[in-house]
């Protein structure tokens, strides 16, 4: 397969899980990490062999230097928070669109053909009562969704104009260990429970998402990397789950059936109400097959947070923030 793989944004939630999945699946290869540490931290990769470059994908020269000797790229670095993108759309554009074009352009200069680009299903397609599939038109409700749609469009353009092998993977809502810095639903609720605070739900809790356990997702990224298939693929569980159902599972997993408190407030602007993925194409073309039930995945996530709560607290990575939904 590949000998030297660059992973941008590898210090984050998905990257720090992915590098461990790759270590368990591949024998002889080198990983180069390019990350500004704006949200992820280099310490999240402790114990896994890699070459670390601290740098920003908004800086073209940095990206080009990081590509030296590389034969494939997994591009994860991004400004990932939907609500933050509404507050600061130009920063989101700079990181997610200009940063992605920098990655593509540096690959072109170095003659690197293979890119796996992290994209999103929910934020690009927006509200959908039917399962979302790859050929649905983009209808983003936030600058984050728009930036990911633009990044996908540039990936398609570079793929066709310069004969590059580019795959964009549209992740659904990912949850799992190593997500303490995230503002996503499950991580936020677990942080609230461990801090003895109420779980805060925006809306009535009927909004649905497609939740995929991070290890299942990382397996899908590995399958995509080694596949010769190009184009766009949805990676999710294929099932809608409401926020209220998540609360019920958390009550059972944490043993707080009676004591877990939930506060409801208004829906927020830019928030998608219903979205889940049709994963038929990824199953057929990439052999993608999520294995982990929601209850098992949430239990594993809860165990990780509980075991690491002291360290996370002392690192100040543990604050309760509003979730991206």
Ligand X SMILES: NC(=O)c1ccc[n+]([C@@H]2O[C@H](COP(=O)([O-])OP(=O)(O)OC[C@H]3O[C@@H](n4cnc5c(N)ncnc54)[C@H](O)[C@@H]3O)[C@@H](O)[C@H]2O)c1
Helices (H) and strands (E) in the chain, counts: 12, 13
Question: How many Å is the Cα radius of gyration of the chain?
Answer: 19
Give the residue nearest to ligand X (CB).
Answer: 12
Residues within the interface to ligand X (CB under 6 A): 9, 11-15, 35-40, 56-58, 76-80, 95, 99, 118, 120, 171, 173-174, 184
If the CB atoms of residues 43 and 289 are measured against ligand X, the closer one turns out to be: 43
Closest contact distance (angstroms) between CB of 190 and ligand X is 15
Closest contact distance (angstroms) between CB of 78 and ligand X is 3
If the CB atoms of residues 58 and 268 are measured against ligand X, the closer one turns out to be: 58
Q: Which residues pair with 30 in a beta bridge?
A: 4
If the CB atoms of residues 178 and 255 are measured against ligand X, the closer one turns out to be: 178
Cα separation values, 134 from 23, 52, 157, 270, 284, Å: 30, 34, 17, 21, 13
Q: Annotated catalytic residue: which of 144, 175, 211, 323? A: 144
CB atoms within 10 A of CB 90: 9
Is the Cβ–Cβ distance between 151 and 97 less than 8 Å? yes
Dihedral pair phi/psi, residue 177, rounded to 5°: -60, 155
Tokens of 99: 């940063």
CA 306 vs. chain centroid, Å, equals 22
Where are the strands (E) in 55-146, listed by range?
A: 72-75, 114-120
144 is catalytic: yes
CA 73 vs. chain centroid, Å, equals 16
If the CB atoms of residues 45 and 250 are measured against ligand X, the closer one turns out to be: 45
Closest contact distance (angstroms) between CB of 12 and ligand X is 2
Closest contact distance (angstroms) between CB of 186 and ligand X is 10
Q: Dihedral angle at the C-alpha atoms of 153, 155, 158, 161, nearest 10 degrees? A: -50
If the CB atoms of residues 23 and 266 are measured against ligand X, the closer one turns out to be: 23
Closest contact distance (angstroms) between CB of 133 and ligand X is 16
Report, as residue numbers or ranges, the catalytic residues. 144
């Amino acid at each position: 397969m590949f000998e030297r793989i660059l992973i941008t944004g590898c210090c984050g939630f998905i990257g720090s899980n992915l590098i461990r999945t790759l270590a368990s699946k591949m024998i002889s290869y080198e990983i180069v990490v390019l990350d500004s540490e704006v949200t992820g931290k280099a310490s999240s990769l402790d114990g896994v062999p890699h070459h670390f470059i601290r740098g920003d994908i908004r800086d073209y020269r940095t990206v080009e230097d990081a590509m030296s000797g590389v034969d494939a790229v997994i591009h994860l670095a991004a400004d990932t928070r939907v609500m933050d993108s509404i507050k600061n759309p130009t920063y989101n554009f700079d990181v997610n669109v200009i940063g992605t074009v920098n990655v593509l352009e540096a690959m072109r200069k170095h003659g690197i053909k293979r890119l796996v680009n992290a994209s999103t299903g929910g934020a690009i397609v927006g509200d959908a009562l039917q399962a979302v599939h790859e050929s649905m038109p983009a209808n983003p409700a936030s600058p984050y969704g728009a930036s990911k749609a633009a990044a996908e469009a540039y990936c398609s353009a570079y793929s066709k104009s310069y004969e590059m092998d580019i795959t964009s993977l549209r992740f659904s809502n990912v949850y799992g260990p190593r997500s303490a810095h995230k503002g996503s639903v499950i991580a936020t609720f677990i942080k609230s429970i461990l801090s003895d605070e109420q779980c805060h739900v925006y809306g009535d809790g009927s909004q649905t998402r497609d939740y995929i356990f991070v290890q299942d997702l990382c397996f899908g990224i590995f399958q995509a990397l080694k596949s010769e298939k190009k184009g766009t693929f949805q990676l999710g569980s294929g099932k809608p789950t409401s926020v209220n159902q998540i609360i019920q599972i958390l009550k059972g997993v944490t043993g707080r059936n009676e004591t877990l408190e939930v506060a409801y407030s208004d829906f927020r602007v830019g928030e998608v109400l219903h979205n889940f993925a049709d994963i038929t194409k990824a199953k057929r073309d990439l052999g993608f097959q999520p294995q982990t039930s929601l209850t098992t995945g949430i239990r594993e996530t809860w165990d990780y947070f509980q075991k690491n709560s002291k360290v996370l607290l002392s690192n100040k990575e543990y604050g309760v923030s509003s979730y991206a939904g």
